């Protein structure tokens, strides 16, 4: 086959498969096991760990900052996941056109945030959100609207970060939806056209059911991504003002590397792991009712 013997193909398969498994074990499973074990210890990363049992976990029950971070994560996810999914789908529908020049350019533009560093994105949006000379407030002033100091206002700081994350990820999710749209046979639409179906009816009864696997995949990814919020918080607000933009991952970072309470930080990360596992399991349970596979 293409000049390569079956024996060589088998060797290549084993080499690449084994290497992927090894890197997966080193990069994911070992750190997870390490975090689980040391979540039962008082450990600062320097001195000898001291076994404390469930002390780190029981401490979470009375940690107000942990509960604030957890609430922020859920509010963030409740806004980001549906908004990202809907906008990405609408963009994909718009890009699913056979226009030779404009559409390929637009597809490239929407993918640019995907290959841009989150640090660079944060710096640009910090300037846009600046309360004194930021671009956003300058635009609002044209309409005689006094914009707030977006990142320093506890009422809108988390929402502002959410908007940045949505802007940065819709290109990637749009590509996923676009692949689903382009896999739908045109015969379905032609048959619906003959039956007198409107554009809206085609979208509801043909498009949405047939791209439901992509929708499910996007919802899963965006949910996990929402609970992994860290870089934009770290760069743009440092969790402030107050605790208004704290996230669980940011709180894990603070405990592990700022407060040198690595055992406690690992306990928080284990709770986050369980939360994501539970949410993913719930989504897989209910996907049977609305996800249709061709």
Segment 242-265, tens digit of pLDDT? 999 999 999 999 999 999 999 999
CB-CB contact of 40 with 56 (8 Å): yes
- The reported pLDDT for the residue numbered 73 is 96
- The reported pLDDT for the residue numbered 102 is 65
Give me the mean pLDDT over the 152-157 stretch.
Answer: 93
Give the least confident one: 6-10, 103-107, 263-267, 269-273.
Answer: 103-107
Give me the mean pLDDT over the 158-164 stretch.
Answer: 95
- The reported pLDDT for the residue numbered 261 is 93
Q: Report whether pLDDT(191) > 50.
A: yes
Mean pLDDT over all residues of the chain? Answer: 88
Report d(CA 222, CA 263) in Å as an integer: 28
Q: Report whether pLDDT(1) > 50.
A: no
69: Cβ contacts below 8 Å, ≥ 6 apart: 243, 246, 247, 248, 250, 251
Peptide bond into 241 cis (omega under 30): yes
Q: Report whether pLDDT(46) > 90.
A: no
Higher pLDDT, 17 or 266: 266
- The reported pLDDT for the residue numbered 96 is 82
Tally of CA atoms within 13 A in the half-sphere of 105 that contains its CB: 4
Domains of the chain: 58-290 (1.10.3720.10)
- The reported pLDDT for the residue numbered 99 is 62
Whether pTM exceeds 0.75: yes
Report d(CA 213, CA 225) in Å as an integer: 18
Helix (H) or strand (E) holding 232: helix 231-236
């Amino acid at each position: 086959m293409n000049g390569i013997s079956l024996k060589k193909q088998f060797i290549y398969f084993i080499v690449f498969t084994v290497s992927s498994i090894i890197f997966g074990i080193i990069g994911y499973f070992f750190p997870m096991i390490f975090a689980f074990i040391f979540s039962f210890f008082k450990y600062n990363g320097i001195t000898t760990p001291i076994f404390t049992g469930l002390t780190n976990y029981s401490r979470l029950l009375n940690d107000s900052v942990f509960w604030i971070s957890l609430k922020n994560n859920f509010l963030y996810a409740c806004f980001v996941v549906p908004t990202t999914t809907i906008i990405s789908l609408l963009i994909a529908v718009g890009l699913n056109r056979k226009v030779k020049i404009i559409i390929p350019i637009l597809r490239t533009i929407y993918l640019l945030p995907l290959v841009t560093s989150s640090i660079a994105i944060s710096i640009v949006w910090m300037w846009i959100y600046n309360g004194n000379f930021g671009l956003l407030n300058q635009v609002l002033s044209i309409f005689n609207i006094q914009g707030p100091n977006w990142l320093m206002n506890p009422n809108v700081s988390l929402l502002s970060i959410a908007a940045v994350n949505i802007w940065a990820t819709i290109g990637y999710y749009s590509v996923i939806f676009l692949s689903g749209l382009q896999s739908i046979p045109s015969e379905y639409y032609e048959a619906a056209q003959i039956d007198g179906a409107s554009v809206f009816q085609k979208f509801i009864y043909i498009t949405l059911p047939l791209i439901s696997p992509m929708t499910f995949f996007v919802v899963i990814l965006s949910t996990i991504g929402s609970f992994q919020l860290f870089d934009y918080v770290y760069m743009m607000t440092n969790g402030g003002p107050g605790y208004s933009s704290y996230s669980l991952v940011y709180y894990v970072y603070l405990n592990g590397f700022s407060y040198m309470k690595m055992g406690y930080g690992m306990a928080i990360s284990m709770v986050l792991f369980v939360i994501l596992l539970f949410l993913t399991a719930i989504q897989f349970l209910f996907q049977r009712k609305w996800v249709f596979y061709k």
